[in-house]
Amino acid sequence: MKRVFLLGYPITYSLSPAMHNAAFQAMGLDWRYALLSVTAGDLAGAVARLRWADCAGANVTTPHKEAIIAFLDDLGDMARKTGAVNTVLKRDGKLIGENTDVAGFMQALQDAGISPHDARIVLFGAGGAARAVSFGLAEAGVSGIVILNRSPVRARQLAAMLQGHFPRLSLAINTSDALKDADIIVNATPVGMWPNVAESPMPPGSVCRRGAIAIDLVYYPGETRFLREAARCGAQTLGGLSMLVYQGALAFALWTGYAPPVQVMFQAARRALGEEGGG
């Protein structure tokens, strides 16, 4: 049996095992996907576990998408550009960090009929997920990105990464009144994730404009407080489930070499989330 793990903390409520194990079964693969709860102090040991012969790779989530780079042998192109890893695979005995979040996020936008070209973006967060989202949006030709983050240092690091790749991109940090003019607002933080469902990244009293698009990378619960607040302002909303599936499908292809059964993965993720239907 080949094993694949999810490294992160906390990860109790992840849908990834249900999604990937359904895909492995559908493809007739004797593979198993399991959670590996890893604190920052345990990361080196967890990466050492990935080097065992029975392991084919891993996914990486909060808070390790940047820190794990120091323990890997090499990086793929997108992981190197963004400075964030969400997928690890083995190649010739080496652990290679890849980033499928960028393409997964952009596919989710495309499926929802959202074009970010020339859009004014407000982005909550400056971690690994925010790096992927902002890079994909910048590549798509947004007019500017305002980064809202509790740590100005982290926000400046993200802005510097983006400026290095997109020197003409308009960037700002912690401009609180940007929300009212934003075309697209993205929550790339874990704020609002189960069990902390009463939380929202939106500052108290803030509003977004009618017709804006609010996107939450959190997928559990399916409708977060952030999305409800945005909907009350008249915004279109998109949850994080489709990005989860698409980034996972790309990781599946990297690990196995097979085309992923995307519809099976959607159905399994929705069942695990308690939603009905497939697609």
Catalytic residue among 65, 81, 90, 180: 65
d(CA 17, CA 268): 9
Task: Give the Cβ contact number of residue 232 at 10 Å.
Answer: 10
Strands (E), 38-189: 55-60, 74-75, 87-91, 94-98, 120-124, 144-148, 170-173, 184-187
65 is known as an active-site residue: yes
101 and 127 Cβ atoms separated by less than 8 Å: no
Q: What are the residues whose beta carbons fall under 8 Å from the beta carbon of 164, sequence distance 6 or more?
A: none
Closest CA to 84 of 106, 104, 105, 62: 62
Residues in the chain: 279
DSSP code, position 220? S
Catalytic residues, which ones? 65
